Structure 1
Amino acid sequence: MNKKIVVTAAILAAITIAIGAFGAHGLKKLVDASSLASFETGVRYQMYHALALFVIGLTPSISEILKRRIFWLFIGGIVLFSGSIYILSLQEVLLFSVKWSAFATPLGGLSFIIGWVWLAIGVFKSN
């Protein structure tokens, strides 16, 4: 699991940099400042959680079960939170409505929160 977490975290960080570059260079010509700021929030949270996964994957004192739970919660949070923000930020240029994706943002945020709480509890209970 550790190798899977670290490799996934590195890939997510690389994807985050590519998405951030797209937002900084290509997206600002297509959407308004508010949408661009929202997009940047999605990028920031994706990178925070990619880096957190990297550290979790390299920390031997965290149990494998806890690592697996946090891994999937953070992946779910990235997909739901950051992914929905990316989609909503692009609404101006898309030919169809994506307002349906707004329900995913708070679910992704909740997934992040639960992951962090489980991490805190797991570290607190560890020797």
Structure 2
Amino acid sequence: MFPRYLAFGALYALVGVALGAFGAHGLEDHVEPDRLEIFETGVRYQMYHAIGLILLAFAASMLGDRKPLRLAGRLMQAGIWIFSGSLYVLVLSGVTWLGAITPIGGVCFIAAWGIAAWSAWRARGEG
């Protein structure tokens, strides 16, 4: 499972770089600056959590209880799709109600980091 998180993290980072380049070079003449900023926020959070998935893959080799890390990884991926994905679609389509689901992705991110911290805290006495 955890080598898969390493692979997913790398793929999400790859897509994040590509989307960042698309936003910087392909969208700047087609969307308003405030919408471009929204797109960049999606890319930034996607990159943060791509790196987070990679870190989880390495943390799993150091921590005993991997089940919480599995959940954290799933939540990070859900957050990328819901948070960043809703921002991308909002900017590209102009469908503003999508901004209402973006916070669900943010909650996924917060929960993932909380679970990762809890897992590391619990393992501190084992290593």
Q: TM-score scaled to structure 2, two decimals? A: 0.91
- What are the superposed Cα offsets for residues 90-110 of structure 1, whole Å, 9 maximum, x if unpaired? 235xxxxx2332222000000
TM-score, normalization: structure 1? 0.91
CA distance in 2, matches of 1:78, 1:53: 11
Q: Secondary structure at the match of 1:39?
A: helix
Whether 1:121 and 2:123 are equivalent positions in the alignment is no
- Partner SS, residue 30 of structure 1: coil
Instruction: Give identity over the alignment, percent.
Output: 39
How many residues end up aligned between the 2 structures? 122
Q: Deviations over 1:68-121 (max 9, x none)?
A: 1011100110001000111111235xxxxx233222200000000001111111
2-structure distance, mates of 1:67, 1:122: 7
Partners of 2:55 and 2:104 lie apart in 1 by 24
Q: Is the contact between residue 69 and residue 115 of structure 2 (CA under 8 Å) also seen in structure 1?
A: no
Alpha-carbon distance in 1 for matches of 2:101, 2:79: 9
Segment drifting more, 100-109 vs 57-66: 57-66
Rounded to whole Å, the distance in 1 between the matches of 2:78 and 2:85 is 10
1:77 lines up with 2:79 in the alignment: yes
Counting only pairs closer than 5 Å after superposition, residues 1-127 of structure 1 correspond to structure 2 as: 1-59=1-59, 60-62=61-63, 63-92=65-94, 98-126=95-123, 127=126
AA aligned to 2:86 is S
8 Å CA contact retained: 2:86, 2:98: yes
Structure 2: unaligned runs, 5 residues or longer:
none
Following TM superposition, where does structure 1 have runs of at least 4 consecutive aligned residues deviating by more than 3 angstroms? none
- The residue type equivalent to 1:91 in the other structure is S
Q: Please, which runs of 5 or more residues in structure 1 have no aligned partner?
A: 93-97
